[in-house]
């Protein structure tokens, strides 16, 4: 029985479904971890996370078995053993597991017990729950391996402790959301360590996967609740942790402790990493977006440049008769500050053509929202034309406040492949814009210094689809609207509960009605990175046809 261990934490990215590439990457990380006894990887690292219904394909499970065998054979060289997350099938059901690979073989498998089935997670659809896990015996040391959600439940770690576990290792696929670091470290890890008296290694992945951003931020917590190692957020990292056993207790020698992003830097980097990996892994040469001179498109362009670099971002101004000179000037200045390509394509020829085409049918009716939406859809057609011709993905620029109340044009400004602002309320957009003008993000490939004119942030928001239009013509000020939306969406409050907070009843009832009737639009919107606790899409699944109201 050993009284010393060197355990390597591999905080890595992964590519869902690319099993051979994931296995190759793990072998490369293992080479870098020379001198370690054991290297541990995040949850389901071999197949990628979350796999969704891809994991239901028998061919994927067969390939996972072959790649796991290849990884196991590699450990015959006497180097570090590997703790690998994968999927196995047994008696017709699937299990989310970790496998210990050493001495050329798979020597232990442990199944995930607690399967999350809320928010972005639907693991009960895919996997069967395993039994309460027994510790793994590794070189005479009993190691408990609660997989991700297992660490949130005290009876899992209590069982491991009762079965003789001396150390807890938790492989995770834990996506970013605001304030998640505090919940992981204090509310979850700290509580389990305090209850069991066991030190804990928490390993998480980094990178974007569709609507999710994984922030890493892996750590080692001692039995005394001290943080011995804190890995950085957003970046791949490898650390070799040294462990010694004193008086029957495993202790981790202190190492480097990286500081983690605070708000709104964490939100901004989540947008950057999600967009970067979505564009790169789907093999787009870059993105194209409409740059209107407003704050939403300016921030979207800044995130795109920071994610991809200015040479892969194409900004297009599409002015109409209602576009102000301020907007024209602000758009060109945004593009100049970012160093991105900038083109101007006026939409008036298209507007005139549609006026002529619809003139007889629209005769005798006043101009209204129909003509406004036509302008937006013309812009969508132009941008999709550029996307089809040159291959750039169209980046949409709408924010969560607009999507909540339906103030977006379906098949117009909603057209596109991805939205970095989908889960960002308008007030968050203002905060992020001010922050980016004053800070350089750690992941940024864009320029240091301001990325948009200050006037973009200070001028009243407007869609500029009619003369002298302002958002506040038909909506409450965003400082008032967003707290109402947060209560309705994130907290699922009723009208009366929001009235009790001091909001005006008729206003809240109107916003609730707009929220429900816009569901059909949101169902057809592009994916976008999850930032908060209830994003539109996987987190919040409402029926389109819905007569329920709380007032």
Q: How many angstroms separate the CA atoms of 212 and 216, rounded? A: 12
Burial tier of 492 (Cβ tally within 10 Å: 0-12, 13-18, 19+): exposed
To the question of whether residue 293 is assigned a binding role by annotation, the answer is: yes
Measured CA distances, 142 to 7, 188, 420 (Å):
14, 22, 44
To the question of whether residue 300 is assigned a binding role by annotation, the answer is: no
Q: How many angstroms separate the CA atoms of 429 and 300, rounded? A: 9
Active site annotation includes 43:
yes
To the question of whether residue 291 is assigned a binding role by annotation, the answer is: yes
To the question of whether residue 4 is assigned a binding role by annotation, the answer is: no
Q: How many angstroms separate the CA atoms of 72 and 217, rounded? A: 27
To the question of whether residue 124 is assigned a binding role by annotation, the answer is: no
Peptide bond into 394 cis (omega under 30): no
Q: How many angstroms separate the CA atoms of 132 and 385, rounded? A: 55
Q: Select which of 112, 400, 422, 530 is catalytic.
A: 112
CB 119 within 8 A of CB 532: no
To the question of whether residue 347 is assigned a binding role by annotation, the answer is: no
To the question of whether residue 37 is assigned a binding role by annotation, the answer is: no
To the question of whether residue 290 is assigned a binding role by annotation, the answer is: yes
Active site annotation includes 512:
no
Active site annotation includes 445:
no
CB 81 within 8 A of CB 100: yes
Burial tier of 107 (Cβ tally within 10 Å: 0-12, 13-18, 19+): middle
To the question of whether residue 428 is assigned a binding role by annotation, the answer is: no
Measured CA distances, 216 to 313, 424, 527 (Å):
27, 21, 22
Tell me the three state secondary structure of residue 511: helix
Enter the tokens of residue 12: 């890595």
Q: Select which of 67, 114, 123, 148 is catalytic.
A: 148
Which residues is 88 bridged to in the sheet? Answer: 95
Q: How are strands ordered across the β-sheet holding 105-111?
A: 105-111, 93-102, 81-90, 38-40, 4-11, 237-246, 249-252
To the question of whether residue 519 is assigned a binding role by annotation, the answer is: no
Eight-class DSSP state of 530: -
To the question of whether residue 397 is assigned a binding role by annotation, the answer is: yes
List active site positions: 43, 112, 148
Residues that constitute the known binding site for ATP = 290-297, 397
Residues that constitute the known binding site for L-glutamine = 118, 174, 180
Residues that constitute the known binding site for deamido-NAD(+) = 373, 402, 521
Residues that constitute the known binding site = 118, 174, 180, 290-297, 373, 397, 402, 521
């Amino acid at each position: 029985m050993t009284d010393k261990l060197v355990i390597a934490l591999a905080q890595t990215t992964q590519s869902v479904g690319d099993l051979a590439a994931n296995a190759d990457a793990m072998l490369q990380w293992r080479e870098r971890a020379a001198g370690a006894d054991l290297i541990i990887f995040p949850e389901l690292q071999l197949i990628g996370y979350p796999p969704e219904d891809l994991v239901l394909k028998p061919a994927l499970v067969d390939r996972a078995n072959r790649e796991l065998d290849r990884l196991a054979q590699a450990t015959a060289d006497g180097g570090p053993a590997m703790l690998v997350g994968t999927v196995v099938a047994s008696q017709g059901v699937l299990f989310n597991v970790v496998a210990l690979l050493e001495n050329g073989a798979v020597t232990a498998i442990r199944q995930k017990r607690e399967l999350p089935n809320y928010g972005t997670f639907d693991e009960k659809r895919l996997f069967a729950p395993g039994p309460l896990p027994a510790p793994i015996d590794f070189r005479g040391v009993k190691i408990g391996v609660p997989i991700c959600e297992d660490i949130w439940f005290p009876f899992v770690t209590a069982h491991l402790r009762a079965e003789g576990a001396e150390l807890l290792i938790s492989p995770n696929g834990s996506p970013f959301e605001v304030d998640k670091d505090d919940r992981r470290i204090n509310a979850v890890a700290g509580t389990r360590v305090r209850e069991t008296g066991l030190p804990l290694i928490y390993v998480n992945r980094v990178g974007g996967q569709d609507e999710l951003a994984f922030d890493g931020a892996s750590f080692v917590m001692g039995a005394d609740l001290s943080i011995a190692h804190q890995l950085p957020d957003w970046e791949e990292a490898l650390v070799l942790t040294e462990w010694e056993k004193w008086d029957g207790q495993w202790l981790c020698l202190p190492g480097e402790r990286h500081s983690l992003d605070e708000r709104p830097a964490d939100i901004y980097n989540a947008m950057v990493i999600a967009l970067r990996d979505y564009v790169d892994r789907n093999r787009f040469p870059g993105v194209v977006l409409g740059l209107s001179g407003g704050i939403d498109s300016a921030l979207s362009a800044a995130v795109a440049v920071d994610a991809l670099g200015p040479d892969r971002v194409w900004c297009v101004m599409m002015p109409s008769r209602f576009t102000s000179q301020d907007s024209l000037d602000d758009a060109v200045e945004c593009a100049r500050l970012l160093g991105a390509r900038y083109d101007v394509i006026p939409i008036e020829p298209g507007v005139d053509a549609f006026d002529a085409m619809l003139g007889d049918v629209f005769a005798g009716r006043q101009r209204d929202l129909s003509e406004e939406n036509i302008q937006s859809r013309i812009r969508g057609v132009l941008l999709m034309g550029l996307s089809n011709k040159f291959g750039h993905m169209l980046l949409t620029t709408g924010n969560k406040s607009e999507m909540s109340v339906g103030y977006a044009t379906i098949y117009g400004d909603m057209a596109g492949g991805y939205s970095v602002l989908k889960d960002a309320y308008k007030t968050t957009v203002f905060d992020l814009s001010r922050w980016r003008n004053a800070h350089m993000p750690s992941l940024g490939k864009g320029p240091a210094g301001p990325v948009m004119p200050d006037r973009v942030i200070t001028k009243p928001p407007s869609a500029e689809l009619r003369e002298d239009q302002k958002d506040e013509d038909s909506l409450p000020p965003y400082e008032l609207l967003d707290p109402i939306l947060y209560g309705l969406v994130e907290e699922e409050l009723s009208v009366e509960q929001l009235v009790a907070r001091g909001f005006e009843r008729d206003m809240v009832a109107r916003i609730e009605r707009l929220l429900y009737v816009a569901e059909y639009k949101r169902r057809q919107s592009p994916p976008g990175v999850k930032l908060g606790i209830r994003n539109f899409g996987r987190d919040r699944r409402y029926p389109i046809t819905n007569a329920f109201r709380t007032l």
